[in-house]
Amino acid sequence: MSSRDPEVSTASSAQLFERAEAVIPGGVNSPVRAFGSVGGTPRFIERAAGYTLTDVDGNDYVDLICSWGPMILGHSHPAVVEAVREAATTGLSFGAPTAGEIDLAAEIVARVAPVEQVRLVNSGTEATMSAVRLARGFTGRTKIIKFAGCYHGHVDALLADAGSGLATFGLPTSPGVTGAQAEDTIVVPYNDLDAVTKVFEAHAGEIACVITEAAAGNMGAIAPVPGFNEGLRTLTREHGALLIMDEVMTGFRASSSGWFGVDGVAGDLYTFGKVMSGGLPAAAFGGRADVMNHLAPAGPVYQAGTLSGNPVAVAAGLASLRAADRSVYDALERNADTLTGLLTDALTAEGVAHRVQRAGTLLSVFFSDEPVTDYAGAKKAETFRFPAFFHALLSRGVYPPPSAFEAWFVSSALDDRAFSIIADALPAAAKAAAAAQP
């Protein structure tokens, strides 16, 4: 932490973290929240409204994480809060179908042309796990291809060389994942079609699916290079494998129809989460009806969930998507552009080598003087500059993701006041990044 950062009281957060560490492993329920790679006291949040997070010590922050994606409208959006309140008063869970589930599925189908049917689940992890099972069940094949640095939730078979928290902590995979669970996963570099071609040739007739983030956001923001997603489409089709577009992060954020709305490349299966949850535990997978019809009870591939399609979560997701109209997507675009400009100006002024990379409205800062196109490039960046940069921002009321390998998320709620807080905080943060030592 830079000695010139303002003193911020974190006594209550520190006290809670100590209590948490006694009863919760590492004090948190998802690793990145523990500030492991940036140090310092994780802030315990008391409430949030619009773009502002307020911690238990009364500090306010401009939120540039948005709960890792869901809060595109900002926090406590009146339409979402009202929908949740209404749903909660008529019963929390029935274990029987409800009309709202059809509305949410129909909203997703209407937005993403290649998606004809949708199954609701509770997390992005469940969505990718189920999509891979379905791809194997449908094709009768076992092997899958994934890309280094792409994160698809903490599914055993998909943890190999995954981004997100594993990138943050420098882990190739996880203890507890057996050889058998990992041996059917073939990992290749992102944006490398030749590598994918070679795997298909070496394993003719064995590949069930390729799973990719439609645009990578879990090793920092790395868009597919022109032709990459199209190439995956062609190769999978040629070899009788399915293409799974993981849009848990990009879905309904990159555009009203997610990354599909950006490059128009159709996957066979899609996974969604984050934005479509409205901030409650909900996610989905969907795609071609002939493939989805292999799922139980229509078909033989088993998949189920006690709380799947939960009425309160469905109400939150549906209200969020319905509120996310043209003006919201225009605001996201504008706000991502403004943030990109502010970051670039501040770091340039201090002579810090950097790239502010974009994947649609997702962005991230790489301390690198070359464009980053894959995980190896992301790991080569000067990540030692990030903790000082992060803490200089945090202590000045701006909350970016606490890891150099995570994307930054804007909401449509950011306004002139938010950007002036960010603009005021950035010069000191850029200085701190410039002064950081490996």
Ligand X SMILES: *Cc1c(COP(=O)(O)O)cnc(C)c1O
Residues involved in catalysis? 151, 246, 274
Report the residue closest to ligand X, judged by CB. Answer: 124
Q: What is the distance, to the nearest Å, from the Cα of residue 257 to the centroid of all Cα atoms in its chain?
A: 16
Q: Nearer Cβ to ligand X, position 80 or 432?
A: 80
Shortest distance (Å) from residue 212 CB to ligand X: 9
Cα angle 87, 88, 92; round to 5: 105
C-beta of 245: minimal distance to ligand X in Å? Answer: 10
Q: Which residues bind to ligand X, rule: CB under 6 A?
A: 123-125, 128, 151-153, 213, 217-218, 246, 248-249, 273, 283
Tokens representing 424 are 């005021």
Instruction: Indicate the SS3 state at residue 35.
Output: coil
Find the shortest distance in angstroms from Cβ 411 to ligand X: 17
Q: Please, which residue, 11 or 24, has the CB nearer to ligand X?
A: 24
The C-alpha atoms of residue 233 and residue 227 are separated, in whole angstroms, by 10
399: helix, strand or coil: strand
Supply 140's token pair. 């009768």
Element containing residue 244 per DSSP (H, E): strand 242-246
Nearer to ligand X, 41 or 250 (CB): 250
- Residue 182 C-beta: closest distance to ligand X, Å: 18
Closest distance to ligand X from the beta carbon of 248 (Å): 4
Decide whether 37 or 164 has the Cβ nearer to ligand X. Answer: 164
Cα–Cα distance, 359 to 357 (Å, whole number): 7
The b-or-e profile of 72-107 (16+ CB within 10 A means b, else e) is bbbbebeebbebbeebeeeeeeeeeebebbebbbeb
- Cα(147)–Cα(14) distance, rounded to whole angstroms? 38
Q: Which helix (H) or strand (E) is 430 found in, with range?
A: helix 416-435
Shortest distance, CB of residue 130 to ligand X, whole angstroms?
A: 12
Residue 33 identity (one-letter amino acid): R
List the one residue out of 320, 332, 327, 290 whose CA is nearest residue 104.
320
CB nearer to ligand X: pick between 318 and 421: 318
Given the complex with ligand X, which of 144 and 352 has the nearer CB atom? 144
Q: Rounded to an integer, what distance in angstroms lies between the CA atom of residue 61 and that of residue 55? A: 8
